[in-house]
Each structure stands twice: as C-alpha cells, then as structure tokens.
Amino acid sequence: MVSQSLEIAPATPADVPLLLELIRELAEFEQLLQDVDATADSLEVALFGPRPACEAVVARVAGEAVGFALYFHNFSTFRARRGLYLEDLYVRPAMRGHGIGKALLLHLAGIAVQRGCARFEWAVLDWNQRAIDFYRSMGAVPMDEWTVFRVSGEALASLGRQALGSVTPTGSVTSEQS
C-alpha cells in the first residue's frame, strides 16, 4: 500500500501531455491503440476549453504519475439529477495492486456525493476479469439488463448528414418519417 505518499489531484493544462501518454498506455492495454486519435490540442480543449467536456485527476506516488481517471457528468431523467460517469481509470502496471485504483475510485465517489449525483457508473470490457472482480469488491453491480450501443465513424457521419438535411432555418429538426 502506497497510500501515505499517494496524491490525487485535478489535472492541469500542464498535465495534458502526461494524460495523453497514459491514455495511449490504456489503449494499448485494452488492445485499442489503433482507435486513439486524440491529440494534445484536442485533449486540452476537452478538459480546459471554454466549455469543458470532461475532467480528470492524476494519481502520483512520490511525485511520479502512476495513473489517472477521466470523468464527466451524465443525467438521469428518472431521478432528475446528474450522475458521474467514469470514462477511463488507468493505473500503470507496475503500480497495480497497491490500492491506487481503489483510491481513484473512492476519490471520484466522493466527488459524486459532494456534487449531489444520483449515481456513479462506468463500463468495463467483458474480458477484463481482474477489473470486474475489483469493481464488484467495491460494491459495484453490473447492469446486465442493459446493452451499450454506439454509433461512430461513417455511421455517425451518415446519421448526422440525415439530421442536418432536415434542420429548418430556425434550428428545429423536422422528420419526414414518423
């Protein structure tokens, strides 16, 4: 356990290159490195631009970066309250098993409670049994009755073109098919 020298702090603009490095390490671990097209500029805008899309914290042990968590708010219509969505949590392999992942998760749970969030959630790859077991040990439960859907790349572009083709001059969307 490295808790005495562990520091978790909000990321700063100076951390952007480090975060990008950690994101690439995570993508490599998840066998998704080919999907990373984030740049330092795009990440900086997402985190610190005029309308930030997300937030991040960096975990450091004795001043050395060992992990991060990137998160944002979502919303529950049933609860009429926002939630906290953990997009990514990553701890460098050499530092796993020292309580850093747990500390990051607890840190974010604290943020969720402070902000009055109705829930705190995230997704995990089906094959990552170590993470699944860890999350279950923290009291998380899988949402087995839900299936995540995603539209990206050309499929998203096509849907967007369809929607944009039906936007009126006032900015409202009309539907020719009901």
CATH number where 13 lies: 3.40.630.30
Instruction: Identify the pLDDT of residue 46.
Output: 98
Question: Tens digit of pLDDT for each residue in 130-141?
Answer: 999 999 999 999
CA dihedral 46, 50, 54, 59 (to 10 degrees): 80
With respect to residue 176, please indicate whether it lies within any of the assigned structural domains.
no
Q: Give the range of the structural domain holding residue 36, as residue numbers without chain letter.
A: 3-144
Question: Tens digit of pLDDT for each residue in 9-65?
Answer: 999 999 999 999 999 999 999 999 999 999 999 999 999 999 999 999 999 999 999
Buried b (16+ CB within 10 A) or exposed e, 33-63: eeeeeeeeeebbebbeeeeeeebbbbbbbee
With respect to residue 126, please indicate whether it lies within any of the assigned structural domains.
yes
- Catalytically active residues, by annotation: 135
What confidence category does residue 74 fall into, taking pLDDT thresholds of 50, 70 and 90?
Answer: very high
Instruction: Identify the pLDDT of residue 170.
Output: 57
Instruction: Identify the pLDDT of residue 165.
Output: 78
With respect to residue 30, please indicate whether it lies within any of the assigned structural domains.
yes
Instruction: Identify the pLDDT of residue 3.
Output: 58
Domain count along the chain? 1
